[in-house]
Structure 1
Amino acid sequence: MKFLFDFFPILLFFGAYHLEGIYVATAVAMVASVVQIAAGWLMWRKVERMHWVSAGLIVLFGGMTLILHNPLFIMWKPTILNWLFALVFLGSAFIGKKPLVQRMMEHVIQVPRAIWHRVNWAWVAFFVISGVANILVAYQFSEAFWVNFKLFGLMGMTFVFMILQGLYLGLYAERPAEVQADTGPQDSDERP
């Protein structure tokens, strides 16, 4: 359910594009982003920062696309969003005690500090590469190809990267302290 909620504007953009073209799809994505924020507030009484940033960029770049009648503005939106995420992850490596990826995931898995830093840098590189890939596709291929890449290519890249990250983190996962205590050496003086 959360997955569909997070990708609601992208899915509607994709559907509207194939029915009505880039300008209707852009308007649909703009409305869907506002609805997503309102629905998030009504359901959970909070809105994730990612949704605020994404909605702001969709409204800004979508508005420029519609006003100037130029689809390149909406095509730049995923690149700008990815590069902003890269900057946030990069900044977290230097600001605060923990990189962003550790703050987001340490409640799920425990790994050595150096591994958190490596994974954080991997996210920086991933977001930079995703932004570059998006803009290369936007300029080198047809609009229809870009729309498909936006949904399937960028989302596919993200899923593959997340799986690889999970496997990598799994190699270094530390066992919880209580499990380690249970498997420690037994006192030989105790008899049943």
Structure 2
Amino acid sequence: MKILFDLLPIFLFFASFKWAEGHKDLAAQWLTEHLGFAVSGGVVGVTEAPTLLATVVVVVATALQILVLKALRKPVDKMLWAGLVIVVVLGGLTLWFHDERFIKWKPTLIYWLMAVGFLVTEIVLKRKMLRQMMGGQMDAPDAVWRTLGWAWVLFFGAMGVLNLYVAFNFPTDVWVSFKMWGSLGLTLVFTLAQGVYLSKHMSPPPAEAGGSQ
């Protein structure tokens, strides 16, 4: 359930973009009427309407995530706060300048922030955040956790670069589809590979006391 909640802004970004692609005139009209004050010139064109509508949706969805967590009195992850700041700033610039290049930087900045987070906690501070994320139920040598930490740092760093490559070398609809399916697919494959690697290095359970002699 939590993973669906975390991925909700991505799903909504994808769905709203695809809807607006098929209803560009309607999307442009709605944005102009209701958000013209936030757009330079006050008018949204049909060509840019899908990206701008999806941008508005992802900003609102991210803000609602935090409001829901606050209403339920649950902790708000620091990365979610960082994501809100990033999406509000880049989303605002996207709207005002009619320029989708700003919002295309959002996934990269999130990936790189996560890479820095893993680098600091796992490598520098050696806090074994990965072990805590797995419930603390898996035990493995420190070298294994360190290797996994570096793997996540490199993975998030590479994903940030890959996002920029797709965003600025392919049409926007391709980037949106990659953001929805490609990024999630690569993350799933990497996570499964990490699980396989970790399973090969887990410490065996201790022998039960009073066992057969």
What TM-score, normalized by structure 1, do the two folds share?
Answer: 0.89
For residue 184 of structure 1, report the CA deviation from its aligned partner: 8.0
Q: Size of the alignment, in residue pairs?
A: 184
* 1:116 counterpart = 2:142: no
2:208 to 159, 182, 192: 182
Paired letter, 2:74: R
1:52 corresponding residue in structure 2? 81
Amino-acid identity (%): 39
What TM-score, normalized by structure 2, do the two folds share?
Answer: 0.81
Stretches of structure 2 that go unaligned for 5 or more consecutive residues are 21-49
For residue 4 of structure 1, report the CA deviation from its aligned partner: 1.2
Describe the superposition over 1:12-35 as per-residue Cα deviations: whole angstroms up to 9, x where unpaired.
110110112110110000000000
Tell me the distance in 1 between the aligned counterparts of 2:209 and 2:135: 23
Tell me the distance in 2 between the aligned counterparts of 1:175 and 1:54: 39
Paired letter, 1:121: W
Q: Which runs of 4+ in 1 moved over 6 A?
A: none
Q: Secondary structure at the match of 2:65?
A: helix
Stretches of structure 1 that go unaligned for 5 or more consecutive residues are 188-192
Structural mapping, 1:52-91, within 5 Å: 52-91=81-120
2:129 to 96, 100, 105: 100
* 1:13 counterpart = 2:13: yes
Q: Secondary structure at the match of 2:138?
A: coil
Q: Does structure 1 retain, via aligned residues, the 8 Å contact 2:123–2:146?
A: no
What's the C-alpha RMSD, in Å, of the aligned pairs?
1.7
Q: Does structure 1 retain, via aligned residues, the 8 Å contact 2:109–2:160?
A: yes
Paired letter, 1:48: D
Q: Does structure 2 retain, via aligned residues, the 8 Å contact 1:89–1:99?
A: no
1:127 corresponding residue in structure 2? 156
For residue 54 of structure 1, report the CA deviation from its aligned partner: 1.5
